[in-house]
């Protein structure tokens, strides 16, 4: 594996004075994974002088931190010990480095894993108070390309919040005239406060410890093999046609769930659960402000037997995924009220049963098109996976309506998954060809 040499490390502070005080964190913030979310953006050199100039990136970061000033603060706690964000203006970590990787070699070899994360994202401190909330690394490659690596603390930032910040940062860097049209961040997390008289209408099993698994469903927390798989526009279209009008996310997740159950050789009677996350910003009544900056996603799931998932057409699994992703305001408010009565420090945040899958959508966001003035990334995705059975679905950078799947499975299951999934893709291709006039 190629190496990375550290060049500089410093703190970047907001370009102007920013408000002091504290940002109250909602129960959904406290329920989020207590750590950082590392992502990478690969940029191909345009061979022009000043490509990804450090001064431009750093100065625009300082300007973006004015509007997003809580990111320049520190994770803290109030008098009761409840986590909050202290708006201290101390800044974010900014690192520059160089690597003997060439971009094409990197893209050929990259899969989300600990080794890649350690190369291209700054080392993470302990994620407890008083820790920094954002770390960034610009790595210059042998070919002239660049990798931008970010790590944002999940207690303040979910994927849509990260996209909003990066979009603003990139817009400032490229001197865009549309800067005034960008969404202003909203830090009023009390919009997601529990009700004075909590009303818990649902069971919310996703926030409870998983029952002791049977022998076939041992938990795999950290050992995994990961893969990046691209589905073309035509393949996605054919798959959606088999799933009775399902969204791209639901159709793709249904196929991965089906193939994973087959690849894992699970007993037909075993229970398999599809875990997912829903962005509740537009689903609440009234909806959250479009610029709401914080955690506004909730965990949901659908359950079936392995036999039900693998023996039926993929559209059947897609209907299960739809059930898991169709919750509304009453469900979210019930969850917030439920979390008010539990110790959020002890919520399950590690692995899931070997029979299960956790799927997250990064679609519908601008993460894949972050243009800092030298073009959109050739690739954007997670820097690592947290455990086996994790799936990210995201837009394929620069490819019209194609999607990328970032998947982790048990090392012994991944070869069979690749085989089974490839067979399904061949069927999609053949059907697409036959359907072409």
The pLDDT value recorded for residue 212 is: 61
Query: How far apart (Å, rounded) are the C-alpha atoms in residues 275 and 310?
Result: 17
The pLDDT value recorded for residue 352 is: 81
Task: Let me know if 275 is a catalytic residue.
Answer: no
The pLDDT value recorded for residue 303 is: 94
Query: How far apart (Å, rounded) are the C-alpha atoms in residues 97 and 138?
Result: 6
pLDDT < 50 regions, the chain: 216-221
Task: Let me know if 316 is a catalytic residue.
Answer: no
The pLDDT value recorded for residue 435 is: 64
Taking every pair of C-alpha atoms in the chain, what is the biggest distance, in angstroms? 69
Nearest-5° Cα angle at 275, 273 to 278: 150
Domains of the chain (ranges, CATH numbers): 4-186 (3.30.559.10), 209-435 (3.30.559.10)
Candidates 154, 204, 368, 392; catalytic one? 154
Placement of tokens 């393949």 in the chain? 235
Q: State the DSSP code for 195.
A: P
Nearest-5° Cα angle at 287, 183 to 69: 35
Q: Are strands 379-382 and 36-43 parallel, antiparallel or unpaired?
A: antiparallel
Which of 248, 229, 230, 227 lies closest to 238, judged by CA?
248
Cis peptide before 286 (omega within 30 of 0): yes
Cα–Cα distances in Å, from 269 out to 257, 261, 304, 341?
16, 12, 9, 35
Candidates 59, 105, 188, 371; catalytic one? 371
Contacts of 18 (CB under 8 A, 6+ apart): 65, 66, 69, 72, 87, 89
**Helix, strand or coil, per DSSP, at residue 234:** helix
Q: Which tokens belong to 211?
A: 């029952």
């Amino acid at each position: 594996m190629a190496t990375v040499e550290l060049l500089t490390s410093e703190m970047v502070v907001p370009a102007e004075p920013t408000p002091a005080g504290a940002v109250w964190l909602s129960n959904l913030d406290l329920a989020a994974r207590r750590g950082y979310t590392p992502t990478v953006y690969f940029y191909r050199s345009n061979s022009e002088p000043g490509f990804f100039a450090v001064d431009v990136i750093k100065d625009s970061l300082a300007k973006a931190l004015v509007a997003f000033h809580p990111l320049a603060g520190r994770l803290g706690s109030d008098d009761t010990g409840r986590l909050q964000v202290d708006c201290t203006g101390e800044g974010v970590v900014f690192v520059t480095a160089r690597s003997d990787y060439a971009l094409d070699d990197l893209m050929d070899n990259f899969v989300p894993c600990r080794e890649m994360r350690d190369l291209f994202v700054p080392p993470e401190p302990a994620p407890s108070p008083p820790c920094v909330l954002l770390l960034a690394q610009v790595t210059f490659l042998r070919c002239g390309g660049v990798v931008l690596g970010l790590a944002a603390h999940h207690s303040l930032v979910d994927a849509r919040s990260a996209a909003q910040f990066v979009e603003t940062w990139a817009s400032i860097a490229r001197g865009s005239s549309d800067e005034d049209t960008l969404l202003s961040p909203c830090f009023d997390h009390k919009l997601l406060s529990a009700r004075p008289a909590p009303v818990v209408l649902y069971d919310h099993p996703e926030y409870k410890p998983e029952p002791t698994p049977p022998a076939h469903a041992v938990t795999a927390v950290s050992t995994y093999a990961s893969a990046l798989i691209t589905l073309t526009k035509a393949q996605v279209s054919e798959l959606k046609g088999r799933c009775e009008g399902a969204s791209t996310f639901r159709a793709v997740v249904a196929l991965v769930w089906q193939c994973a159950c087959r690849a894992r050789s699970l007993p037909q009677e075993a229970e398999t659960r599809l875990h997912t996350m829903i962005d509740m910003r537009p689903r609440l009544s009234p909806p959250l402000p479009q610029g709401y900056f914080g955690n506004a996603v909730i965990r949901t799931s659908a359950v079936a037997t392995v036999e039900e998932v693998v023996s039926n057409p993929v559209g059947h699994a897609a209907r299960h995924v739809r059930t898991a992703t169709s919750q509304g305001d009453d469900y979210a408010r019930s969850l917030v009220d439920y979390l008010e009565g539990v110790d959020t420090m002890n919520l399950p945040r590690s692995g899931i049963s070997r029979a299960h899958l956790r799927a997250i959508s990064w679609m519908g966001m601008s993460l894949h098109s972050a243009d800092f003035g030298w073009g959109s990334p050739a690739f954007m995705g997670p820097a690592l996976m947290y455990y086996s059975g994790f799936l990210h679905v995201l837009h394929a950078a620069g490819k019209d309506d194609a999607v990328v799947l970032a998947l982790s499975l048990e090392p012994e299951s991944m070869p069979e998954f690749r085989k089974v999934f490839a067979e399904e893709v061949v069927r999609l291709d053949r059907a697409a060809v036959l359907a072409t006039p």
